[in-house]
A and B are shown apart, each in its own frame.
Chain A
Amino acid sequence: SCASSVTATAAAVTVDASKTMPFFNQETLQQRLQTLIDGARETWTYAIFWQSSDLDFSSPSVLGWGDGYYKGEEDKNKRKLSVSSPAYIAEQEHRKKVLRELNSLISGTQTGTDDAVDEEVTDTEWFFLISMTQSFVNGNGLPGQAMCSSSPIWVAGVEKLAASHCERARQAQGFGLQTMVCIPSANGVVELGSTELIIQSSDLMNKVRVLFNFNNDLGP
């Protein structure tokens, strides 16, 4: 189980922290996520880094929001609901209200009218925002499972996402995503999602291994 692998990690860490516990750099995290997505051949909608908080090795391992990069999707017309339906209108009103509140929370001012907030909030934007509130304890969910098993998980196809044991994967499918990938790294898990169907590629795994080995300086 995840607990036993955490204990093993703890033992490794205490032997020689400088060698085994890689240096984690929050500043360059956004740059690494952006490089990963913008440099990819495939069309990814977003990338998220779920950061492991193994503070006290006896406590359960928790993956929480580290950072994320939302690139968006090319085909905006893939909506669940028709734009004239009452459900769509009500849902959009709700999303815009939340975005206005978030805007005020961040800017610290009561923003009267901000046209950007009044534009349509797409399903994948909404899913990205919801992701900021999520965390995974002790191997739960696809990110937690990838972290615990130390092996990548690649789910491609709406049927597979919809049938997944992971609630986050099912939710992603509901918001129009077709592919979800979780790749473990030393300090957490890199997750990528796309509205396109993307078949597994070792090239992407290798890029994650290089980009998210925080002992590597990013260089020019």
Chain B
Amino acid sequence: SGDLPLARRNSLLRFLERRKERLTMVSPHSL
């Protein structure tokens, strides 16, 4: 991920993590 600008990398990381948390809350059994 070295070639991904830092701002985008941080935003992407946060987006993916939050998405995982959101989906875990919605359907804990599927994850």
Of the candidates A67, A72, A105, A116, which one forms a contact with B7 in the assembled complex, judged by CB atoms under 8 Å apart? A67
Of the candidates B5, B14, B15, which one forms a contact with A129 in the assembled complex, judged by CB atoms under 8 Å apart? B15
A127 adjacent to chain B (CB < 8 Å):
no
Indicate if the CB atoms of A67 and B10 lie closer than 8 Å: yes
Of the candidates B7, B12, B19, which one forms a contact with A106 in the assembled complex, judged by CB atoms under 8 Å apart? B12
Contacts from A to B (Cβ < 8 Å): 26, 30, 51, 64-68, 70, 72, 99, 102-103, 105-106, 108, 114-116, 119, 125, 128-129, 132
A66 to B27 Cα, complex, angstroms: 32
Interfacial residues of chain B within 1-31, with CB under 8 A of chain A in the complex:
1, 4-5, 7-16, 18-20, 22-24, 27, 30-31
Indicate if the CB atoms of A102 and B12 lie closer than 8 Å: yes
Contacts of B4 in A (CB 8 A): 105-106
Contacts of B10 in A (CB 8 A): 30, 67
- Known contacts A67-B7, A70-B19, A116-B24; 7 further A-B pairs (Cβ under 8 A): A64-B7, A65-B8, A68-B11, A70-B15, A106-B9, A106-B12, A114-B20
Indicate if the CB atoms of B16 and A102 lie closer than 8 Å: yes
Contacts of B11 in A (CB 8 A): 65, 67-68, 132
- The smallest beta-carbon distance between A97 and chain B, in angstroms, is 15
- Determine chain B's interface SS by DSSP, over half rule: helix
Contacts of B31 in A (CB 8 A): 115-116
Contacts from B to A (Cβ < 8 Å): 1, 4-5, 7-16, 18-20, 22-24, 27, 30-31
Known: A105-B4, A125-B19. A115 touches B30 (CB 8 A): yes
Contacts of A114 in B (CB 8 A): 20
- The smallest beta-carbon distance between B27 and chain A, in angstroms, is 8
A65 to B10 Cα, complex, angstroms: 11
Of the candidates A66, A116, A119, A132, which one forms a contact with B12 in the assembled complex, judged by CB atoms under 8 Å apart? A132
Known: A105-B1, A116-B19, A116-B20. A26 touches B12 (CB 8 A): no
